[in-house]
Amino acid sequence: MATLLAGSDAVPKSPAAWFDALRAAALERANALSVPTTRDEEWRFTDLTPLTKLQVRPATAATSLIAADIAGHALPEASARLVFVDGILVPQLSQAGPLPAGITVLPLAEALQSHAVLVEQHLGKIAGDELFTALNTAFLNQGVFIHFAKDAVLKAPLHLLFVAAGQDVAAHPRVLLVAESGAQGCVIEDYVAHGEAAGLTNAVTEIAVAPNASLRHIKLQRESPKAFHIGTCAVSLGKDARFASQAVTLGARLSRNNLAILQQGEGIEVVIDGLALIGGRQLADTHTLIDHLKPHGCCEQVHKTIVGGGAHAVFNGKVFVREGAQLTDSSQQSRNLLLSDKARVDTKPQLEIFADDVKCAHGAAVGQLDPEHLFYLKSRGLSERAARNLLTYAFGAEIIDRIPVPTLVAKLEKLVMQQTGEKAGDGA
C-alpha cells in the first residue's frame, strides 16, 4: 500500500475547499483499505502482487512528446482531442475544437471555478469508494470535465487520448461527464503507450446521463505489455436515458476494467459490448454491473475474449433486478475463444432477481476454433495460419464493427488481424 500511495503528499491544494476535503477523505479511505488479494471474492482470479512490487510515483511533468509521436492515434472524425501524457494535460498536443453550442470541455482545474456547482454535485458521487477509486480521488489533480447542455448534440466524437510514456509513473486520470436532458454525444477514452515503460494507469470515469439523454462511451486500452491498468467507469441513468458502452482491451500486463451502471429512472436502454484480445502472460479482468432499480429497463450485454499463449481472461458480469423493477428485460452473454492449450478463461455471469415480471437471461461459452471451419477455409486455398487468423478475427469483428467511427474501426481491424497470429502462439 505504501508504494501505491507514494507521492500523495505532493498533490497541490485547489481553490475549492470542498475539493480538498474530498481528496483528504479519499486519502484517509485509501489508507484504511488493504490491497485486494485472491482471497477477496471480487479479485479471486487476479493477483495484484506484481503491481504492489512496482515502485511508482505520479509524474511531476509530462514526458516530452511531439505531434509526430502521437500522429498514429489521430481520429479525423473527432470534433476535438485532449491529450494527456503520464496523466498530465498537454495543450500543445491537443485540439480544442471548435465545439457545437452547449458542449463544454475543460480541464478539471478550470471547471472547479467556472462550473463549481455542477462539478461539486457529481464529482465523487457516482463512483464508489473501493481502493483504486479512492486512490484516484486522493491524487486528483489532472482531469477533464465534459458538459452536454440541455438538448445539445455532439455529432462528431470527442477524443480523450491518454499516453503512458514515463518509466515507473502512476497516472490517475479522472473524467467527469454530465449529459443534461435531451443531449446526445459520443466520447472516446483511448489509452495508449509510447514505448514499453512499466507503470500504472488508474483511471476513473463518472458519467451522469439525465432523462431522455443519449450517450455512447468507447474505451480502448492498448498500453505497454509491461504496464498495469485499472479502469473504473460508473454511470447513472435517468428516465428514458440511452447509454452504449464499447470496451476493447488489447494491452497491459495486467488490466482490470470495472463498469457499473445504475438505473435511476424508468425506461432506460443500455447496450454493453466488450472485447479482450490477449496473449503471452497477460491477464485481462472485466467486471460489469447493471443495477435495475426502476421498471422498464432494457440491457443487452455481449462480452468476448480471445486468449492465446499462457494468458488469462476473467469476466464477472452481474445483473441486479431490484424489487419493484418490473418489466425489466436484461440479457448477458460471455463468449470466449481459446487459441492455445495453456490459455485460460474464468467467466461468471450472474443474475439476482427480486421482481416477478421480468425477462432475463445469461449464458457463457468457452471453446476453440471449429475444425470444420478450418478445413473449409484450407480447402479454398488458405494456409493453416491464415485460416486461423481469419476465423479468430471474425470472432472479434462483431464487437469492433459496431463502433460508429470508421477510422477507429479500420485501425482496430488491422491491429486485431495483426495480433491474432501473435497471440495464438506466444507463450512467453
- Distance (Å, whole) CA 23 – CA 355: 39
Under a CB-based contact definition with an 8 Å cutoff, are residues 152 and 102 in contact?
Answer: yes
The stretch 292-314 carries a mean pLDDT of 96
- Please choose, from the candidates 283, 282, 278, the residue with its C-alpha nearest in 3D space to the C-alpha of residue 339: 278
pLDDT at 2: 55
- Please choose, from the candidates 193, 233, 226, 228, the residue with its C-alpha nearest in 3D space to the C-alpha of residue 209: 233
Q: Which amino acid is at 202?
A: N
Tens digits of residue pLDDT in 19-56: 999 999 999 999 999 999 999 999 999 999 999 988 88
Q: How far is CA 292 from CA 10, 55, 72, in A?
A: 40, 40, 40
- Read off the pTM: 0.94
Under a CB-based contact definition with an 8 Å cutoff, are residues 321 and 291 in contact?
Answer: no
CA 160 to chain centroid: 12
Under a CB-based contact definition with an 8 Å cutoff, are residues 118 and 178 in contact?
Answer: yes
- What are 122's three cell numbers? 457529481
Q: What's the burial of 344, exposed, middle or buried (CB within 10 Å: 0-12/13-18/19+)?
A: middle
Tens digits of residue pLDDT in 211-248: 999 999 999 999 999 999 999 999 999 999 999 999 99
Tens digits of residue pLDDT in 370-396: 787 887 788 888 787 778 778 888 888
The stretch 254-283 carries a mean pLDDT of 97
- Please choose, from the candidates 307, 299, 222, the residue with its C-alpha nearest in 3D space to the C-alpha of residue 267: 299
- Distance (Å, whole) CA 404 – CA 232: 23
**Residue 428: pLDDT band by 50, 70, 90 thresholds?**
very low
pLDDT at 393: 84
- Please choose, from the candidates 354, 262, 243, 220, the residue with its C-alpha nearest in 3D space to the C-alpha of residue 300: 243
**Residue 152: pLDDT band by 50, 70, 90 thresholds?**
very high
Tens digits of residue pLDDT in 392-416: 888 888 899 999 999 999 988 888 8
CB atoms within 10 A of CB 12: 7
The structural domains of the chain, with segments of one domain joined by +, span 8-265
Query: Considering the chain, what is the average pLDDT of its residues?
Result: 91
CB atoms within 10 A of CB 378: 14
Report cis status (omega within 30 of 0) of the bond before 98. yes
